[in-house]
Structure 1
Amino acid sequence: MVPLTCRGFTACGMAAGIKKNGSLDLGLLVSDRPARVAAVFTRNRVQAAPVKLDRERVKSGAARAVIVNAGNANCANGPQGLIAAEAMAAAAARVLNLPDDQVLVASTGVIGAPFPIHTVEAAMPALAVGLSPDGVPDLARAIMTTDTRPKTGAREGSVDGVSYRIVAVAKGAGMIRPDMATMLCFICTDADISLSDLQPALKRSVDGSFNRITIDGDSSTNDTVILLANGASGARIETDNSRVDFQRLLDDLCMDLARQMVKDGEGVTKLVDLTIRGAHSDTDALAIADTVAHSPLVKTAFFGEDANWGRILAAAGRAGVFLDPERLDLYFDDVQMVKDGTGCGWEAEEKATGVLKKPEFSVTLDLNLGQGRASMLTCDFSLDYVKINADYRS
C-alpha cells in the first residue's frame, strides 16, 4: 500500500467546535513551496461562498494551501458568506505567513446557517501547529459530514527512475449525482507537471469517476475538487509517456475514491456497477445509464433484493434515445435475465435474486445496436436514507 504522504505537503485536522458532536471539523493542507493548481467545481447555479472565491483564485494557476471545514456549508448567507470565506482564508494565510490569495477555501455541511468565522479564526493557530507530513488521515476525518468513514488513497509512479506520489482525500455520502457529483476532494502530488497539462488531466479524471456516480440524484452547492502539484519529488511530467502514466494513476485514484463514496452512501447496502453497451453511440449509452442509475424504482428494487428487471427496461425506454425493445439483453452479473426483450423465466430470476443478495454486483444492459458503451456506479435506496435526511439539521 502506498503511504498517505507526499513530499513537500503537510496536513492536519482538529475539532474546532463547528460541529455539535465534538468531532473533527476543520482541516488544512499546505505545500511548503509554490504549487500549480487545477480545480473543478459544482455546476449547480446555487453556489457556496467558498466556491465563488476559489473560482477566482484558481485563475492564477498557483496556490499554497487549502483550509476546509465541515458542519457548515457557508452557502446562501448573502454578502456575509463571501466575507466569511475571505476571512477564513486570511486567517490561514496569517498563521502560514502566506499571501491571502494563495489560500483556497472549502466548506461542507448545513446550507443557510450563519458561518461561525470567529470559531474558525480562534482555532487557526492550533491547526497550524498540528501540521504534519502524516496528517492526511486527520484531514480526511475533518471533512466528513454524514460519511461513516474517511476516504483516502495514494498512487505512486516514476519518471526516469525518479518516483512521485499522488495522494488524495475525499468526502461524500449524500447529495451525490453526476454533474461534478456532490463532494469535496483534495489531491496533492509532488510531481512537476505544467499547468496546461494539470487542468485537463484533472477534468478527464473527474469526468470518468466522480461524474459517473450517483447515490440520490441530488447535486450540491459546494462541490469542489482541487489538485495541487508542487514538484518536490523532482519527477517531471513532460513527455507523452509520462503524461499517460500520470493520467492513468490519477484516473485510478479518483475512481477508487468514487467507489468509496458510493459504498459509504447514506443508507447504502448495495454497490452496483451499471454498464450499457451495444448503443448507437457512447452518448446514447450514457443517457440510458444515467436514467437507469437514478431511477427510484430500480434503486428500491436493489434494496429489496427483488430481480424486477422490468423496471430497468422501463427506465431505459424513457431515456430519450433510440433502442429496439426486441433486441434488449439484460444480465445481473453473469445471469441473463432478458434475451431479445423477453424474460428468461423463473429459474433465471431465482439465480438473479442470489446475485442481488451480494453487497456488490453488476448490471449489464446490451442494446445490440452498435459499439456505444457507458458505465456508472449506482446503489440502492434504503429506509435509512430517508431517516438520515429527514432530520439532518437536528
Structure 2
Amino acid sequence: MGKQSITDVDGVFGHAIHAGIKESGLDLSYIYVPNAVASAAVFTQSKFSASSVTYTKKCAKRHTLKAMIINSGNANAATGKEGESHTKALAQLTSEYLQINPSEVGVASTGIIGKKLPMESIEKHIPNLFKSVKVKNGDKVAEAILTTDLTKKFVTKSMKIGKKTITVSGITKGSGMIAPNMATTLGFLVTNVSVNSSQLQDYLSKAIKCSYNMMSVDTDTSTNDMVVCFATGQYNIASNDKKQSDMFQNLLTEVCIDLAKLIAKDGEGATKLISVDVRQAASVKDARIMAKNVIDSPLVKTAIHGEDPNWGRIMMAIGKDPSVKLNPNKVSIYVGKSCLFKHGEPTSIQLGLVKKELANSEVDITIDCGLGTDSAKAWGCDLTKGYIDINTEYN
C-alpha cells in the first residue's frame, strides 16, 4: 500500500493545530480510536522519565487507551509538580471533548526539556483542535509531532491473513537523542485486528526489540519517548493459529522496522543511512550487541561520512565487548558487496571500490561471525558537522 495516513484506517481519527507551543507550525494533535478493543505501549527507560510517560504508562497498564493528545516543541520534562498537573490537564481536556474517561487518554510530549507548557495558550486554542472530533487529518498529525525532523515519517502495510486484509499503519518522529532501551522516539501505530491488550502488548514488544531498539542516531535515550499501538477490532485473526499469528507479527515488525529506518535516515545532520547485518553469531544477544556497537561507534560513523574505507574501525567496534563470543579467525567483514576482511585476514580488494560503496546514500555493512546460526540487524546514520550545528542551536 505504500505510505498512507494512519487515519485512512477505518475507525481512526485525528487532527492537528498550532497552539502556541512552538513559534510557528503545527504543535498540538490528537489520535482518536473510539472503538479500540486493545492498546499496547512501550516507554523510555530513562530515570528522568517525563510526566507524560509516567501518566500514560499508568493508564495503559489499567485501561484500553482510546486516544492520544500529543504536543511538540516542549517536553514538559523536569518540570516538577506543575508539569505533572499540566499532563493531567491535557488528558482531562481531551477526555471532555471526546466524551471518554481521562484514563483512556494517553499523553505524549516532545521538545525542549525543562520548560513549562504554555497552558494558557493551549487552553485558548484547544477548542479549535476538537471542533469536529471525527476528522481524518492523519497527515497533519504526522507533521505536528515533529521537532528537529526534516521529514514526516509514516508507513502503511497490508497483508492477507486468512480471508481478511489486515493493515498496520504508523507515524513516528525522531532525529536526535535517539538510542535503544525503548522507547527511542514517539511512535503511534494502528491496526484493524481484533486482539486483546495482552496479546497486542506481546506483539508490539517483540516488534520493538528488532526495530526501534536496534536503531540509533547518537546513543542518547530521551526522557519522553514511547510507542503506542491501537487495535480497532475490525477483523479477527486466529491468534491460536501459529501461522496467522506469525504473519501478523511479521507485518507489525516490518512496519516498525521501516519507521525506525526512516528515523535513522533523518538523523540530525545525517547524509547516509547505515545498515549493519550480523550473521552466523553464537547467539541473538551477541549479534545484537555487535550490530549496535558498530552503529553506535563515532569512529565508524565519521569514517563513513568521510567515505574512508578504514575497516579497522568496524573490526574494533565488533570486538570491543568482552562478553561476546567471537573467534577473530572466522570473522568476515563486507561493505556493500566488497569483502575487506575474510576469515581473520585482510583481503586484497582495491580500496577505491570500497570508496564507491561508501559514496552511496545507503551503506550496508555485513559481518559474518562464522560461529552459529543467529543474526541481527541495526540501523543508524553517519556523524557530521551538521549534527553539532543543529544541537548547538536547539534551545
Taking structure 2 as the reference length, what is the TM-score of the superposition? 0.94
- The answer on whether the counterparts of 2:161 and 2:248 sit within 8 Å (CA) in structure 1 is no
Whether contact under 8 Å (1:237, 1:246) holds in the other structure is no
Within 5 A, what are the aligned runs for 1:119-268? 119-129=121-131, 131-231=133-233, 233-240=234-241, 241-268=243-270
Q: CA separation in 2, counterparts of 1:238 and 1:353?
A: 48
1:19 — aligned with what? 22
Distance 2:319 2:33 in 1: 50
Distance 1:382 1:361, change over 3 A: same
Counterpart position of 1:278: 280
How far 1:284 moved relative to its partner? 1.7
CA distance in structure 2 between the partners assigned to 1:317 and 1:263 by the alignment: 26
Judged with a 3 Å threshold, the aligned counterparts in structure 2 of structure 1 residues 352 and 328 are, in CA distance, closer, same or farther, namely same
Question: Hey, what's the Cα distance between the residues in 1 that align with 2:58 and 2:170?
Answer: 23
Amino acid in the other structure paired with 2:378? M
Q: How does 1:89-108 map to 2 (within 5 A)?
A: 89-108=91-110
Unaligned runs of 5+ in 1: none
2:12 to 9, 12, 16: 9
CA distance in 2, matches of 1:125, 1:327: 64
Residue 77 of structure 1 corresponds to: 79
Correspondence for 1:341 among 337, 341, 344: 344
Gaps of 5+ in 2: none
Partners of 2:206 and 2:250 in 1: CA distance: 10
**Mapped contact 1:13–1:138 kept (Cα < 8 A):** yes
8 A contact 1:181–1:214 mirrored in 2 = no
1:12–1:130 CA contact under 8 A, matched in 2: no
Q: Larger deviation: 22-31 or 92-101?
A: 92-101
How far apart, in 1, do the equivalents of 2:110 and 2:135 lie? 24
- What is the CA–CA distance in structure 2 between the aligned matches of 1:325 and 1:166, rounded to whole Å? 41
Q: Which residue of 1 aligns with 2:45?
A: 43
Match of 1:316 in 2: 318
Aligned-CA RMSD value: 1.7
Letter aligned with residue 19 of structure 1: K
Residue type of the alignment partner of 2:286? D
Contact kept, 8 Å, 2:327 with 2:369, in 1: the verdict is yes
Q: Which amino acid aligns with 2:350?
A: A
Q: TM-score, normalised by structure 1?
A: 0.95
- Counterpart of 1:311, as a letter, is R
Q: Counterpart amino acid of 2:167?
A: R
Residue 202 (structure 1) shift = 0.4
Letter in structure 2 aligned against 1:137: D
Question: Would you say how many aligned residue pairs link Structure 1 and Structure 2?
Answer: 390
Amino acid across the alignment from 1:220: S
Equivalent position of 1:331 in the other structure = 334
Q: Matches of residues 271-310 of structure 1 in structure 2 within 5 Å?
A: 271-310=273-312
Instruction: Identify which range, 371-380 or 258-267, moves more after superposition.
Output: 371-380
How far 1:341 sits from its partner (Å)? Answer: 2.6
Match of 2:271 in 1: 269
Partner of 1:377: 379
1:158–1:373 CA distance, 2 compared to 1 (3 A): closer
Query: Per-residue displacement from partner, 1:6-62 (whole Å, max 9, x unpaired)?
Result: 111111111111012x11111100112243211000011110000000111011241
